[in-house]
Every structure is written in structure tokens, then in C-alpha cells.
Chains A and B, each alone.
Chain A
Amino acid sequence: MAVTRVEQVMGFPVSVDLRDGEPEDADRVFAWLHEVDLRFSPFRLTSEVCRYDRGELPEVSDDLREVLDLCSRYERDSGGAFRARLPGRPFDPCAVVKGWSVQRAAAMLRDSGLSRFCLNAGGDVVTAGEPTDGQPWRIGLRHPGNANEISAVLAVRDGAVATSAAYERGQHIIDGRTGLPAYGLLSITIHAADLTTADATATAAFAMGAEGPAWAAAQPGCQVYAVDSDYRVFRSPELPVIR
């Protein structure tokens, strides 16, 4: 049976579209994401992340270890453009936690035998199988200048698509190398096999600015669709664009 549901979690809307699932499957997805919000939010003083930051955790959980490792990896690979720890700010792993936690939700669904679903967390998407026989998921990429239009459509079966942009919360992504808001790109979309990779790569590439698209395209398994400040599109030739 088909189940669709939307809830606000971690500060953004999460849409769950299960083509072969039950309402209980959607319940488990949201239960996990709410748990992640409580444990990994840098804005909740009692969260695992805040207590870790204050040195109050007797031991680091496996989940937190995974998140910390991802943060260090993307910080290193992006040459410091991506940083979970900015001077004068609390430790903020949000950019990594979002993709990682939604990818984990997708794995939970697969483990329960679901094979056709689409999870969209604030514009970051992970898909499985086909919505209807013979047809891939059609993922529209939001036009950076117009919220009601899309600029391209990707055809994806099992995979992930994440977008980083400054058109909504303004210049909220900081280039860790300069400490200033990232500039040079209007938006960057990454298509990868999993959302952990796609989301972290998109955030790091956006922080890098103009050199981000080429850097992201060189990351293993990542394909790029980027719009620069002059509204020029740079994309990987192998990106599955259908329109």
C-alpha cells in the first residue's frame, strides 16, 4: 500500500513517500528522525552533541563517532572550507547529520523489505526502486531564482540527490577557510549513491564557492549540477538529466 506523510523535524519539512509500505513504516522513519533531533541538535542544551561539546559525555556513542568521523573527513577533503567547528560558535554537525540520518532511515526501510520509496528532507532526497513499474523517480532541481520552477529533472532509481543553496536562509554557509559567507555559487546539487555522501559533498562544495563544482565532480561517485552567481550551469556529463 502507498503511504505519504509530511512532518516538520530538525527544523525542516520531511516528506515520506512509500509506494510499498505501511503507516508503521512511516512512523518508524519519523521516530528515528525525532530521536536524531534530540541527540544531535546543537540548539538543544541537553543533546548528546552539546554535552559532547562541553566535555560532559563519559563515552562517545557509535552514532556520534560516525558523525564526528564524517565531519573530520569532509573538513580534510574540502581543505577546511567545510567546518563543523567555527571560531566562536558551538560544535555544529548539522550539515553532516541531515544526510547521514535520512540515509539511515532509508536503510531501515530497506531492512524491512521496502523497495519503492522516496524520502525528501528539506530538499535532500533519497530514493529506492521505481514509483511505478518501468519508471524512475523524477527529481526536479529547484530553479535558484524562482521557487515555483525547476531547472532540470533527474531520473534516479536507487540513489540520492542533495542541494546546497543560499536562496532560503541567506548566506548561512560559511567558508571555513575565510570565516566569511561562501560566495560564487547560487546552488549546487550532488547526485551520489547515498545521501550521506551527497549532502556532505554539496555543503562542502558550496562553502568552497567557485572551485566547488570541480572539486565535487572529483569526489568518488559524485555527479554535479551547479549554478554560479552568473546563472551559468556547470554539470557532470554523466548526470542522468531527462529534461
Chain B
Amino acid sequence: MRRVIPAIVLSAIGFYFVWQYEPGAADDVVAQPPPTVIPSTPAPTTSSSSSSGTTSTPVETTKTVQGSAERNPHGTVQVQVTFTGDKITGVRFLRLPDTGPSRMAGPLLVQETLREQSAQVDTVSGATQTSDSYVKSLQAAIDAKGA
């Protein structure tokens, strides 16, 4: 039983170094996907989806755009983005180095429409940098009301 703890600790240390290992720029060659994986058309491809009926509703077009290959210290990253209308509906990595940091750094942002609303809030975040704009701001109204 006493051997179990050192064994776990050593395994954890070993795993840490494996996790931290970065092959560096050498992985670029490996990361280059075969031509069958990358769509061979770098130019945007456009296709129309069905629009309902004969009314003059705007046609929702789907467009796929390939980003440029960007190098960073961990390797090369390239993405492909699909737009439906003017919304991003899909993001796919064409190239991603096989190292930890980049794998974790593919943060995904969702797109939505900007809304205008007047909800109850306790405070307001925004660039309120002048006293003149403060006087007219929502934050001033909140401060005037008190807690």
C-alpha cells in the first residue's frame, strides 16, 4: 500500500512532462493535412438554400471561407468559417498543432444580434470617461437613487 502513493506521484510528474511537451515548429509538416482534407477551392463557395414560397423574402445564402494559415510559436493554425446570411454558423479548424496550449485555445464565440433594452440593473459597465457623459448616464441615475 505504501508503494501506491509514490507510484501515483511519479506517474503524475511523468504525465505533466508529457502534457507540457511541445514539438515546436517541426509539427508543421505533420499538421499539413493532405489535399483531400482541405477543400481545394480557396475562393468562397456560395450555395443558396430554399426560400419559402414565391414571396420576396431574402434568400439565405451559405458561404464558406477559408482563413489564412497563421503561425504562432506552437505551430500553424488555420480555420474555415461558414456563414449563413451574415451569421457565422460554423467554425472548423483545418490545421491545429498537436500541442496542449493551442488545443485549449480554440475559444468559441457565439454570434447574436445586438439588443436594446432597459432592464433593472445595479450598475452599468461601459466607457464612461467624462463627467459630462456621466451626468447623462444610467449610472448617474442609479447613483442618485441610492442602494
- Residue A78 lies at the interface, judged by CB distance under 8 Å to chain B: no
Write out the residue numbers on chain B whose beta carbons fall within 8 Å of the beta carbon of A237.
108-110
- Interface residue tally of chain B, by bracket? 35 or more
Tell me if A's interface is mostly helix, strand, loop or mixed.
strand
Contacts of A164 in B (CB 8 A): 127
With a cutoff of 8 Å between Cβ atoms, the chain B residues found around residue A243 in the complex are 117, 119
Collect the chain A residues with CB atoms within 8 Å of residue B114's CB: 143-144, 151, 227, 231-233
A138 touches B120 (CB 8 A): yes
List B residues 111-141 near A (Cβ within 8 Å).
Answer: 111-131, 133-134, 136-140
Contact of B43 with A by CB under 8 A: no
Distance of A230 Cα from B86 Cα, bound (Å): 10
Which B residues from 43 to 70 make CB contacts under 8 A with A? Answer: none
Among A123, A154, A213, A230, which residue has its beta carbon within 8 angstroms of that of B126?
A123
Task: Verify if A179 is at the interface (C-beta below 8 Å from B).
Answer: no
Let me know if A23 is at the binding interface, CB within 8 A.
Answer: no
- Which residues of the other chain, B, contact A8 by a CB distance below 8 angstroms? 131
Verify if A235 is at the interface (C-beta below 8 Å from B): yes
Instruction: Check B109 against A139 for contact (C-beta < 8 Å).
Output: no
Residue A68, interface by CB 8 Å: no
Across the interface, name the chain B residue whose C-beta is closest to A206: B127
CB pair A151 B116 closer than 8 Å: yes
- Given known contacts A143-B116, A218-B105, A163 and B125 CB-to-CB distance under 8 angstroms: yes
Q: A122-B129, A149-B116, A226-B109 are in contact. List 10 more A-B contacts (CB 8 A).
A: A118-B122, A123-B125, A123-B127, A138-B119, A138-B123, A139-B124, A147-B126, A151-B114, A166-B127, A168-B129
Chain B residues engaging chain A, CB cutoff 8 angstroms: 86, 105, 107-131, 133-134, 136-140, 142-143, 146-147
Interchain Cβ contacts under 8 Å between A and B, 6 examples: A13-B139, A122-B128, A142-B128, A146-B116, A149-B118, A151-B117
